[in-house]
A = this chain, B = another copy of it.
Amino acid sequence: MEEAQALADQAALLADRTRATFCLALLDGRAWTAGELAREAKVAVSTASEQLDRLVGGGLLTEHRQGRHRYLRLAGPETAAVIEMIAAAGKRTDERPRTMAAAHRQRNLRFARTCYDHLAGVAGVALADGLIGNGLIDNHNGLVLTGPGRTALSEAGIETAPDTQRPVLRECIDWTERRPHLAGAIGAAICRHAFGAGWIERIGSGRAVRVTPAGVRDLERYLGVVIDPAERERSAAAPAVPAGARRP
């Protein structure tokens, strides 16, 4: 009944190419202006303005007006997770890239990217595995930063005091790797610091990032995590995951 209507309304927010483009762009966790988003989606600013109203009204986006600018960002990490999940569900058919440039772009994206406000991809998963293997993070009862972990992060210059009431550390399933990586306040702090310290930098305007030599060095030095850039070359093909447990 009206529960169905609510579900339909919620889904309808993403069921449009223009609005979907907005949300995918905003998945990088940054705030965009209305005009930037209009250009990104190649629509008139008037169109963008109306569609953004709907997304804000539906609770997917939050806005922040400042002067003559209207800044928009995703409402929160859960929103980003929903969008990633639906997008991943549509990726059943792991289509192969058609051109060399596309293959190159896909390889970059698979290797390292931002997932809303934290790190994902092969490198993101490796980081999570490394910190758990090191004992800097304990996964015995949920994910918890250990004493040594807190020390190591502090020494690396990463703030470990949660500034909000969001979960400090939580898993986020990576929908290309199908493995968990680090989200939550700490995950975001690590990502923020990695940008600030030049450990990673964006490739072009998308969500793909590159791990810099300094990043490889400092990640090993401070966190004891080894990221092998050569791994990037091997992150080409999709793992052949069946499209859900089919039943006869």
A interface residues (Cβ-Cβ under 8 A, vs B): 1, 3-21, 23-24, 41, 59, 62, 64, 73, 75-79, 81-83, 85-87, 89-92, 139-141, 164-166, 242-248
Contact = CB atoms under 8 A, between A and B. Distances in A.
Nearest to A179: B142
B245 A90 contact: no
Given A7-B83, A8-B17, A62-B246, 4 more contacts: A76-B246, A81-B85, A85-B85, A165-B245
Given A11-B15, A15-B8, A89 B85 contact: no
Given A15-B11, A86-B11, A91 B245 contact: no
Contacts of A20: 4-5, 7-8, 11
Given A83-B7, A247-B73, A15 B17 contact: no
B75 A244 contact: yes
Contact of A82 (B15, B73, B89, B140): B89
Nearest to A141: B139
B10 A89 contact: yes
B8 A11 contact: no
Contacts of A78: 89, 244
A10 B87 contact: yes
Contacts of A64: 247-248
A6 B87 contact: yes
Contact of A59 (B7, B15, B85, B243): B243
